[in-house]
Chains A and B, each alone.
Chain A
Amino acid sequence: MKKVLWVITLIFVVAISHAQFTKATLQATGLTCAMCSNAINKSLQKVSFIQSVRSDIKNSAFSIVFKEGQKVEIDELKKAVEDAGFSVGSLKLAGNFHEIKIENDKHVEIGKDVFHFLNVSDQVLNGEQTITVVDKNFLTAKQFKKFSSATKMACIQTGKAASCCVKDGVAADARVYHVTI
């Protein structure tokens, strides 16, 4: 009986492997001084799952806190910055991870999103972790080039799973976020 209980507990623990993003650090770029404009600030504040936005001048970044328990739509952060007339220069997402097993150049489903880890060592993520989004238009063109050469899969260019990635059990039209640690 003890053994069975142990197995059940183990199954349960594995089943609830999850992650919840709590905050983010976002840098914006543009033709003009990004921090000198209040537009990005205002645009981010309108995003439904964002609790607060603070300008971190010293790091030329926006410190974002997400609403507790709400799903973070990463693409919406990019849209908010672009709607303000700027582009994302860097996006780091921090959150609490629980038993998330990741492998280099492999897809992993976290919550309802599919993540493709690049330039990482195989590991299990636990506790507070920060991941950096390396999708196209989430970093400078030069940096994107560096990360896009880290995989042969076509999804790095489109952000969609498409045929090459379906074998991992990912739907063809699923959004795949490319990230690194």
Chain B
Amino acid sequence: MNLKKIIPVIILLFAGLFSYSQQEVANITDPRLQINLPDVKGDSIALESLKGKVVLLDFWASWCMPCRAANKKLVKLYDKYKSQGFEIYSVSVDDDKKDWVKAIEKDKILWLQVNDPRNWGAQSAVNWNISVLPTTFLINKKGDVVVIDPSEKKLESAIKELLQE
């Protein structure tokens, strides 16, 4: 077998491998990962509609104290980057809508907020395989999940980087 014959095979193999690994990245346009839930006013917001922005998908609940602490930090971050194309899409699994609304007011949250009641039974939390609150996913402009649960420091540097893409 000569080399010329082998090269295309190798290229093909690599291409296959490459496309396979690309499929492994979670994307918000994947039907299994779609979230379309009502905000405080009752208007549905689809996660998919945010494609083209750098998005932080955040699962939380009003009764989850670590989530509330994280909200405080997100308020500052959101204020700093929202004008550059950064958005936060928070899914609360609060069973009681009143608790959720109260928490939004108290934490001075201005970003997108939707509610998926039933606590751990929430379908979106099941679909995204959430096992602990809060869980965050940083999503690039193409809709790919690029970082899961970034630390505070990593989150800001990653947002800056992704906004440049």
**What is A's interface to B at a CB cutoff of 8 Å?**
32-33, 35-39, 41-42, 55, 57
Contact = CB atoms under 8 A, between A and B. Distances in A.
B16 interface: no
Contacts of B127: none
Nearest to A40: B120
B64 A38 contact: no
Contact of B65 (A33, A41, A42): A33
Contacts of B131: 37-39, 42
B119 A55 contact: yes
Given A32-B66, A57-B63, A37 B119 contact: no
Contacts of B63: 35, 57
B17 interface: no
A84 to B, nearest CB: 10
A176 B120 CA distance: 34
Nearest to A38: B131
Contacts of A57: 61, 63, 95, 119
Given A55-B119, A55-B120, A57-B119, A36 B133 contact: yes
Contacts of B130: 38
A33 B120 contact: no
Contacts of B119: 55, 57
